[in-house]
Amino acid sequence: DVKVTQSSRYLVKRTGEKVFLECVQDMDHENMFWYRQDPGLGLRLIYFSYDVKMKEKGDIPEGYSVSREKKERFSLILESASTNQTSMYLCASSLLSGIGGKNIQYFGAGTRLSVL
């Protein structure tokens, strides 16, 4: 089974802190994604990566950056955390791009981040 592991289930940080959210997948997937989940808004894509050191902005990249130094690991960075970044963050991974049916996204269990 595919396993996507997020390093923390819950995280509490202070405004202005630099925050790292880590995600590791064990299925050699090329694509990795970071989403933010808020009530009434569903999941919104922050950033995704289709290869090591490659990244693309999603729909809401402002205030975030990412790092992918190794294929299995994708980090989300909040350079200076703000209260409006309090949310649930979900990581996902999938195989190569394209319309193919095997390109299923598998998700981690999420990190609930509170910024005080």
Give yes or no for residue 61 binding another protein (CB under 8 A).
no
User: What does the buried/exposed string (b/e) look like for 6-43 if buried means 16 or more CB atoms within 10 Å of the residue's CB?
Assistant: beeeebebeeeeebebbbbbeeebbbbbbbbeeeeeee
Q: Which of 5, 8, 45, 114 binds another protein (CB under 8 A)?
A: 45
Signed CA dihedral, 5, 8, 76, 114: sign only = positive
Instruction: Single out the residue of 42, 55, 57, 54 nearest to residue 90, CA to CA.
Output: 42
Q: Which of 1, 42, 53, 69 binds another protein (CB under 8 A)?
A: 42
Look at strands 31-38 and 4-6 and give their pairing.
Answer: unpaired
Give yes or no for residue 76 binding another protein (CB under 8 A).
no
Give yes or no for residue 65 binding another protein (CB under 8 A).
no
Q: Which of 23, 78, 81, 90 binds another protein (CB under 8 A)?
A: 90
Shortest spacing between CB 44 and another protein, in angstroms: 8
| Binding piece for another protein, criterion CB under 8 A, among 13-21, 43-51, 69-77, 78-86 | 43-51
Give yes or no for residue 58 binding another protein (CB under 8 A).
yes
Give yes or no for residue 107 binding another protein (CB under 8 A).
yes
